[in-house]
Amino acid sequence: MSIEYVESTRMWILNTKKTSYVMGLNQLQQLQHIYWGARLPYSSDYMITEAGSFGSQECTTDIINLEYPAWGGMIYSEPCLKVTFADKVRDLVLAYDSYAITNQDIPELTIRLRDPYNGLVVDLHYKAFEELDVVERYVEIINTGSDPVDLEQAQSAVWSIPGNHEYRLTHLAGKWLGETQVKQSVLTEGKKVLESRRGTTSNHANPWFAIDRGQASEYAGDVWFGALSWSGNWKITAEVTPFYAVRVTGGVNDFDFTYQLQPGESFSTPVFTGGFTTDGFGQASRNMHRYQLERLLPREHAGELRKVLYNSWEATLFNVTEKDQIKLAEKAALLGVELFVVDDGWFGQRSNDEAGLGDWYVNKEKFPHGLQPLISRCNELGMEFGLWVEPEMVNPDSDLYRQHPDWVMHFPNRPRTESRTQLVLNLGREDVREYIYGFLHDLLQNHNIRFIKWDMNRPFSEPGWPNAPTGRDKEIWVRYVEGLYLILDRLKAEHSSVEIETCASGGGRVDNGILSRTDQAWTSDNTNAYERLFIQEGYSYAYCAKTMVAWVTDSGNPTLPLTYRFHSAMMGTLGIGSNLHHWSDEQLATATTMIQLYKDIRHIVQHGSLYRLSSPRKKHQTAVQYVTADLKESVVFVLSTNQAPFLMSPPLQLSGLDPNQLYQLEGFDVCRSGKSLMAQGIQVAMNGFFQSKIIRIIAV
Ligand code: GLA
């Protein structure tokens, strides 16, 4: 059993294959965190740290780690929960109440804490995924009293890192066209806050973290890591207290946050998934990838391989017409494309980004006979059809906005800041949700559309909700995301054959919350194959390759060889975004060969284990290897960057193979053991700028 309660020591022990997570009751009846790290053999291994005596300036919570600290009494570090009661009391005491363990597919522990004065109940939920070495946590806060309670901070969890060391934080930062860049900094006393206040996950920071002792590599070293399942304002705080306790607290951002609980109401926080490994950042990523592949991604399509897609955006921008799209589709089908996606421009009065969002009828001038002729042609050509939508948005120049100016988030008598000439609909409102669900349902019901790219191209501003029930207007930050999830869940339930791609001006909404409802993600609007190596490397720290959509394009790539662009894009889910009419016969032939190769190896890329052999940040060569679960097949991508042509690269040591298995390497004469390939490596001759190779490895 992977969760047990030890009566004699009053401790709960959650074991996964290689890790333990332990908490217990201290003498003050507080739930105290005890340990999170490598699995220890005996239940007697765990000790509770008793707080010593202090000067009047010190408080115990700087030393001992509470499992879910509430703000009240002497607490000065980051709390998980802060409330105001109806009688204006802002002090909260969380005492242990009871626990329950349920043992289904995945064992779950619930520990109930209760404020003895007011009756506010907090249920801490834990799921231990034994095989995946991760733990899911979330909290449900229940108002059992007779007056309303305002939540002012309600975090999903705090992760306490053991020991007294210098720790390093690894996180993903960036911006539009440059998402998920790997950043590292040593933690010192105080707080480092990673967050989004933009309403979406954001292109700028991603709700994922890793902590190590400053020496972990790809292959070795203790790494604690976690990712939040939330697609709105989020916050992750890495804190070192004056007594060197190291904690990572995370959840919905408390910035501009108040959530009212009427008697009987409850609030569930997003899930925060965490894990630990002794095997470095590579294993931390692989554990998260497995969790996503085996548990998180929508089950309907999780086992299927993602299709090679063509997307019209960079080829035709807003100028999509039936005639031109059919011509592109015919060319795409010849290359081996499996899914043809029409991007922005097909609807309303949409000839540029200044009009049309909100009016989701097919533009009659561009598609005089509706979408059907194009869809039928795609199907005849053996391709599925997909469509771009941006349901959460409205242009002021649209029929929808003229009819419902109050549907956008705004403050009365204040400006409504436009970005890309658009405003954000308030998905907290039921009428707005019904409208969005309604048009999407009709589109999917009446056409053979098997894929939608769901875009969201601007962050929130003036997040007002004039008609919200009294005291609930700030809940817009949360209710918007809940509204989005409701629509997606309903669509997935009613149209389960449809795959959804999440997009927000590139990778602005990629997180475990959206990935539990969408099948893949648009990684970045930056499609330069070289710059993508950095974006994709960071992406791979937190998210699996199967969800990482990458297109081969011409934009921003004037000098990079076409094979290099393909190799870069084949490291995730492959797409093509170029104007195929501009490709020469030779380029079309190269593309056909590359797409066939991708189809041959994509089961390894999309479902295999990923090893980052060489980082673009450190070497003049990027190398990523994928290995199937049975260790019989592998593929290595090697892409040189600005390596000087006369330099020989040192041998590339492979990973993840069966040491005693003999493997055949494509392009090499002799077969070698996995052990040799991992110990001695392979010599990849690549003497030049922006060269690339794919090496296939098959067990013999
Ligand atoms: C965003 C997306 C692009 C494209 C455009 C269309 O920028 O990231 O891929 O869909 O919108 O307007």
Residue of 606, 663, 593 whose CA lies nearest to 633: 663
Cα–Cα distance, 533 to 210 (Å, whole number): 20
Estimate to the nearest angstrom the gap between the alpha carbon of 517 and the chain centroid. Answer: 11
Cα–Cα distance, 73 to 157 (Å, whole number): 20
Torsion angle of alpha carbons 261, 266, 267, 271, nearest 10°? 170
Half-sphere exposure for 273 (CA within 13 Å, toward CB): 25
Give the ligand 1 atom nearest the CA of 504.
8
315 touches 577 (CB < 8 A): yes
Pairing label, strands 259-261, 149-161: antiparallel
Write the single-letter amino acid at 621.
Q
* Residue 673, number of CB atoms within 10 A of its CB: 16
396 touches 463 (CB < 8 A): no
506 lines ligand 1 (CB under 6 A): yes
* Residue 405, number of CB atoms within 10 A of its CB: 13
Cα–Cα distance, 401 to 347 (Å, whole number): 15
Which are the contacts of 559, defined by CB distance < 8 A and separation ≥ 6? 690
Q: Cα(286) to centroid of ligand 1, in Å?
A: 30
Pairing label, strands 633-640, 393-394: unpaired
Cα–Cα distance, 225 to 553 (Å, whole number): 34
Residue bearing the CA closest to ligand 1, atom 1:
505
203 lines ligand 1 (CB under 6 A): no
Q: Cα(505) to centroid of ligand 1, in Å?
A: 6
Q: Cα(392) to centroid of ligand 1, in Å?
A: 14
Residue of 626, 621, 486 whose CA lies nearest to 545: 626
**CA angle centred on 299, ends 538 and 483, rounded to 5°:** 75
Q: Cα(501) to centroid of ligand 1, in Å?
A: 12
Instruction: Give the helix/strand (H/E) hosting 488.
Output: helix 476-494
Which residue numbers are catalytic? 455, 525
Residue bearing the CA closest to ligand 1, atom 7:
505
Give the ligand 1 atom nearest the CA of 388.
10
525 lines ligand 1 (CB under 6 A): yes
Which of the residues in the chain have pLDDT under 70? 1, 643-647
- The crossing angle, in degrees rounded to 10, of helices 476-494 and 430-446 is 20
Bridge partners (DSSP) of residue 175 are none
501 lines ligand 1 (CB under 6 A): no
Residue of 249, 244, 209, 266 whose CA lies nearest to 70: 249
**Pocket residue to mutate for ligand 1, from 354, 388, 454, most atoms within 8 A of Cβ:** 388
**Which pLDDT belongs to residue 52?**
74
8-state DSSP, 682:
B
8-state DSSP, 564:
H
Cα–Cα distance, 244 to 341 (Å, whole number): 52
Cα–Cα distance, 696 to 76 (Å, whole number): 55
Cα–Cα distance, 386 to 95 (Å, whole number): 53
Residue bearing the CA closest to ligand 1, atom 11:
505
| Token duo for residue 582 | 């501009």
Cα–Cα distance, 478 to 562 (Å, whole number): 44
pLDDT digits (tens, 9 = 90+) for 104-114: 889 999 999 99
567-578 per-residue burial string, b: 16 or more CB within 10 A, e: under 16: bbbbbbbbbbbb
pLDDT digits (tens, 9 = 90+) for 604-648: 999 999 999 999 998 788 999 999 999 999 999 999 987 655 567
Please classify residue 638 by burial: count the beta carbons closer than 10 Å to its beta carbon, then call 0-12 exposed, 13-18 middle and 19+ buried: buried
Residue bearing the CA closest to ligand 1, atom 8:
505
Residue of 145, 150, 78 whose CA lies nearest to 118: 145
Cα–Cα distance, 607 to 504 (Å, whole number): 25
The whole-model pTM stands at: 0.98
Residue of 577, 512, 508, 519 whose CA lies nearest to 547: 519
**Which pLDDT belongs to residue 62?**
87
Q: Cα(232) to centroid of ligand 1, in Å?
A: 20
522 lines ligand 1 (CB under 6 A): yes
Cα–Cα distance, 550 to 569 (Å, whole number): 5
Bridge partners (DSSP) of residue 277 are 223
Cα–Cα distance, 140 to 114 (Å, whole number): 12
> The tokens 């590339």 sit on which residue?
652
pLDDT digits (tens, 9 = 90+) for 253-281: 999 999 999 999 999 999 999 999 999 99
Q: Cα(521) to centroid of ligand 1, in Å?
A: 12
422 touches 412 (CB < 8 A): no
Q: Cα(84) to centroid of ligand 1, in Å?
A: 42
Please classify residue 337 by burial: count the beta carbons closer than 10 Å to its beta carbon, then call 0-12 exposed, 13-18 middle and 19+ buried: buried
Give the ligand 1 atom nearest the CA of 453.
10
* Residue 636, number of CB atoms within 10 A of its CB: 24
Bridge partners (DSSP) of residue 155 are 251
**Which pLDDT belongs to residue 67?**
98
Cα–Cα distance, 513 to 478 (Å, whole number): 13
**Pocket residue to mutate for ligand 1, from 343, 421, 454, 532, most atoms within 8 A of Cβ:** 343
> The tokens 């049975």 sit on which residue?
630
Give the ligand 1 atom nearest the CA of 506.
8
> The tokens 């890793």 sit on which residue?
210
